Amino acid sequence: MTSAAQQPESAAAAADVVDHHRNAPARRRARVSRFLRVLLIITAGIHVPVALGVGELLRRAGAPYPWLLGALWGALGFALFLGRARAGMHDGRGRHPLLVRAVDIPYFVHWCAAVWTLIPAVVVTLGAPVVDLLRGVPVALPLGAYMWTYLAGLVVCGYGVLVRRRWFRVVEREVRVEGLPRAFDGLRIAHLSDLHVGTLTPKSWGMRWAAAANAREPDIAVVTGDLVTSGTEFAEDVAEVIGALRAKDGVYTSLGNHDYFGGDHEIIKAVAARSRVLRNEGLVIERDGARLWLAAIDDTWTRRDDLRAAMAGRPDGAPTVLLAHDPARFDAAADAGANLVLSGHTHGGQIAFPFLSRVLSLASLAHPYNVGFYRRGRSTLYVHPGLGTTGPPMRLGAAPEVTILVLRAPA
């Protein structure tokens, strides 16, 4: 029973959550506006060495007005960015598939190559004058270095955008689960995450992921959030992808932060018609009298998660598999008694150093739990590398993956 002294605090906390949800759209618009301004500044900066490099390439090719054309190339690259950025923030609004293929995708190859060019350009710009002075020659901009770095970037980023993000793998991984009854030894969980079905990640890709998962005959299939990138225009598409999953003991979905970018009710309604959507709740899965608690928390970014509610009703002694989109909740989940936590969110960085993705990736800079397995006491976390992309549609060194987790009882 709640005491009178506790009631005002509980009421204030509830009011704070309601106020947070009510004002969330305005706060998000402000954050998006600031983020867009930062991106515009960055985009302007990365196009300076690109414009000079293209000018040098045209000069060597004997083209007329090479520097003017190089400057126009850089200006066009900057101007086109705003439309691509806005389209990504409101996914699906007015973007014809032909326009996506003919303009957006090639543009992102160029933009990623421009980002690729930036750091080498800064290094050689600072270092070249020193080398020139030591050699006793006139100091000059390293135009050739800009040119070759940009050309190399087009090749590497073309692979990342056009090939690597489409080429997913299916991987089976065994995981020891503390307290797992022998009846569940060998239970197969198909884990998909961060689908981001939308303009840049079509439904047809998602259907291939579902077919690959089904081919491994899982007992349970789970999708741990970020079903779309933003908005609700692709609610039916992602629902069809999830609806195509097949598993003996059911298909279960939890939500991520992107699922609340621009509305969520249509997404939840569409997906709930084809799978069980778990939001701060759990259920029992039984085998030969043994019980497993499968639960999920809602999105942490919008403060909808309630770990206590997700764990409520768990039978005594039943091991718990918890779906939590954001791996940052692992420590709290471990303390609450979750034996296996399945997360996503990080995409494994999307861009990582090959074979060292766990320690050298964009995710490793921001997330202590960025990809793969982690242990804390009796609890295990698996962070899925994701299947779709956000931001620039590119992957390098962080392969999209359909994961089959095979649960094993302690040895």
- pLDDT tens digit sequence for 109-126: 999 999 999 999 999 999
The whole-number pLDDT of residue 265 equals 87
- On the CB side of 164, how many CA atoms lie within 13 Å of its CA? 21
Structural domains of the chain ordered from first start: 12-164 (no CATH), 171-408 (3.60.21.10)
Exposure of 209 by Cβ count < 10 A (0-12 exposed, 13-18 middle, 19+ buried)?
A: buried
> Considering only 83-97, 197-211, 215-229, 239-253, which range has the smallest mean pLDDT?
83-97
Alpha helices for 282-365 (secondary structure H) = 307-311, 330-335
Q: According to the model, what pLDDT value does residue 377 have?
A: 94
Look at residue 22 in the predicted model and tell me its pLDDT.
Answer: 52
Q: Tokens standing for 32?
A: 């998006």
pTM of the complete model: 0.88
Under a CB-based contact definition with an 8 Å cutoff, are residues 216 and 190 in contact?
yes
Binned at pLDDT 50, 70 and 90, residue 28 comes out as low
DSSP β-bridge partners for residue 401? 169
